[in-house]
Amino acid sequence: MLTGTDLLTKVKDLGDVSKTELATACGYVSKKKDGSDRVNFTAFYEALLNAKGIDLGTGSAGIGKGGRKLSYVATVQGNGNLLIGKAYTAMLDLSPGDEFQIKLGKKAIRLIPVGGTDEEIGEGSGDIEADDASNAD
């Protein structure tokens, strides 16, 4: 598979050919179980973009949607649920099935990992507080 300047040069040399021929000529093809060819367009286009200096950042495990900034605000839904999104749980490296003890304070909700104590759990390491909604902008 060609990459970088070699890929750009090959694409320019081939000129006006089909997308399938272009990707195949650059080596972005593999064999299926039945022996037929499978053209990997995604890898080809990503390599082409990288060669042109555009990095999609697909190699890193991003949190949340690219380009979005987290608001650090949770809103009570119409059914009464308070939803904390995947971006926040990923930041704390939480997994499905992780359990939390719910502690209610005066206009605050604290989630303490089961087995942890208030003293052991520092700010930003699992505590989630909901402050008075009237203070939110």
User: Are 25 and 45 part of one and the same domain?
Assistant: yes
Q: Report the share of the chain in percent with pLDDT over 70.
A: 75
Distance between start and end Cα atoms, the chain: 52
Q: Model-level pTM?
A: 0.43
Q: Tell me, what's the pLDDT at 136?
A: 42
56 in a domain, yes or no?
no
The pLDDT assigned to 15 comes to 87
Q: Are 134 and 94 in a shared domain?
A: yes
Asked, for residue 58, whether it belongs to a domain, the answer is no
Asked if residue 128 and residue 91 are part of one domain, the reply reads yes
Q: How many domains does the chain have?
A: 2
Distance (Å) of CA 83 to CA 14, 72, 78, 88, 132 = 52, 12, 11, 11, 17
What whole-number distance in Å separates Cα of residue 31 and Cα of residue 24?
12
pLDDT beneath 50, residues of the chain: 60-61, 64, 123-126, 130-137
